[in-house]
Structure 1
Amino acid sequence: MQRLATKVACLLVLVLAVSGCDRGTPLLLVKAVAVGVPSLAPFFDERSGLGEDAPDVKAQPVRGSLQQGDTPGLYGGSKQPTVCDVNRLKAFLTDPGNDRKAQAWARALGITTGEIPEYLDRLTPVLLRHDTLVKNHDYKKGKAVPYDSLLQAGIAILVDQQGQPAVKCSCGNPLRPFTGDTNGVSVTFENGNKEWKGYDRSSVVAVRPAARPLEKITLVDVDDPDRGINRPVGTGGAKDATFDTRKTEAVPSLEGKTFGEARQALADKGLATGYDSGSVPADSARVTATDPPAGTELRFGEYVLLSVAEGSSPQDGDTTSPPPSEPSVSGPSTPGTSAPESSGGASKSPSVGPSTSPSTSPSTTPSTSTPSGPSTSTSPSAPISPPTSVTSSPPTVTSAPPETTSAPPVTTSASPPVTTVAPPPGTESAPEEPTASVAT
């Protein structure tokens, strides 16, 4: 009995440790991957020279754990142009002797082996400036085995056309979007990946796709933060253009814009978007304030914190569509991404003015509307008044149709001495009314 009690106690301790004790859902276990530490099951030999990490990069602070792939300064570069040898990776994957690995590699990224060369030509080498969550892959028994991992800042990767991590350079392992809750992870440091100096949970990010394909990636030199790099997508550094990151831009006026519109406006000015809520605001949420305020001068890559009215919907008459979301991220890579943390309230259809609704809810008190033609509808619950009898000196009398009937007007004949008007058709709930006679 005592042994059973001991086992139960140990089990409870384990459950509490994994669940974080005070959390409603268990934490997601994530494996740390440090700079320079070889993978235990890589796709390619890490000594083959596919890529080179930068061991001295310090993780930068971030304002919001889910960032888009076009966030200015999200990634870094270097004066050393080749941090990832794409041509060597392409040669390896297209070698018939490596066909089995190529098939597993392509399958992990959602492409075919025949699409590998074109896919690699669209990727761009960068260095991580943040500890970054991804869906990593090991190569085991001929298959790509996925696992959640945290890549340390300074690791060289290839990103796709929407700025999401696609390949880890040193080993060629394919990367996909991280799909978990970035605020609910537990990082395990093992297999030589000791907790690195400067590790800070608040600097961890996951990447969701940019709203549109990029023509260039804007980087910050990891050795000289005053030097910016514009790197055309699909190039390895030979076509880089540099700029001064100390040049400032004024924060634009963003109040009233949607979060998606504001984020794009900031990116166009070289400024990053920050938020202080637990999850990224919905693209349709309305911006209520910025910190710092409009007009403040900031240098390239600095954050502007956006406050939004959560659950807000586009204003009346607003036909602007928010930028499309990706998968999800939360995470890296063009092939199928979604944003796991994106949240927002239910949207409302824009109002178009009173008395234009084609139907009335059963719980709504019916209201009388002015007829606009023969197709005017009548509420079934409203009684219909009988037609008014009209007597006039001429022998022929024509009765006007009821105001609220949906039937066409009834025309009486002038020949008979008596004109009979029938009650309007289609009003099943209205009581029967006697016919009205008009004597001549």
Structure 2
Amino acid sequence: MTADPFALTDDLWGLTNLPYAVASAQDWSPQVVSRLGGHVVGIAGLAAADGHRKWARAWSTPSLNAFLEQGPSSWQAARRWLQQLLSDDRRRDFVRPHLRPLDAVELHLAVDVADYVDFYASEHHATNVGKIFRPDGAALTPNWKHLPIGYHGRAGTVVVSGTDIVRPVGQRKTPADAAPQFGPSVRLDIEAEVGFVVGGETELGERVGVDRADEHIFGVGLFNDWSARDLQAWEYVPLGPFLGKSFASSLSAWITPMAALKEARIALPQQDPQPLPYLRGLEGAFGLDLALEVRLNGTLVSQPPYAQMYWGPGQMLAHLTVNGARLRNGDLFASGTVSGPEPQQRGSLLELSWSGSEPIRLEDGTERSFLQDGDEVTITATAPAVGGGRIALGEVSGRILPARD
């Protein structure tokens, strides 16, 4: 039996969290919802019944995009209203008809993704990858500490958590092969990342500085950028990731608003050399203290610390737009693989198994260097909560299916 949401004793999914998702139920068409404990809150119906027509219209749609368009003042006001309503003992009977148990709804992709950019913001991940692929050269490329490196991905293959992932096929060529081969990827990997959902459109040519990040970054969702390392290695020179990345990327169904992460804001690690002024801002860029956990078939294989990331989300957004590229409601950018300095903090199997030379052992006694068909990966995270305790971020998971003929 699902616990009474008004009798919560912890903050993981309490009033300091209140994430957003899109859900449908037997008597609900897909619409924007929130969450309180083990219940989903039908905020479109609540807003309509309480006279908030602007929010009701936006939340009655099957994506967050209409709400994202309303901008930060509306985001903040809606959150204050929802917190006050759900904490008011006198209005519980008003709220209850708009609650559904979590297991009675189906969750959908919360955002109609407009554009998607993936960054490469972890110094530890970039260093590990450099050591693996360039053992006789410098681990970091000359530009790495001067700008947040990224690539433009495929928005149409961002899928909601829980979606099965079909093993991709393509060309691959090892140094020992005389010619490329075609077939299913044999080095299928994960990338434990954090995604940032953007709202508030800008004009072509407009730049969004570091200090304006809060005007546009709406919230955070855990992200798994599935990667076919063998396809990637053959195709990425000279233009970067393509088919090795574009087959699927998974986003949590729940988007945690930035307002819920105020206590998670931290200073970035020291950046040396000092970034150019457009990446510094007047108030300074920020990082986030998020504790990630990666499980493969139930075995905890990694605990990546997002607090160790070199480039912050505001810097990524500033660099994304510094050339005048416009923002659209529903834009998504991701951090790149989150890795820490310790072996158990590496956010990809490429690093955890050191490109297959050091397979990891699972609780069932089997070993993995890369993903096998049937494997299931789940990424979870928590963050410090406003007022103490911690909140949970929505998990992102996916199971690998065999390649199709």
* Higher Rg of the two aligned structures: 1
Pair in the same fold by TM > 0.5:
no
| Higher share of residues assigned strand | 2
| Higher share of residues assigned helix | 2
Q: TM-score range by the shorter chain?
A: under 0.3
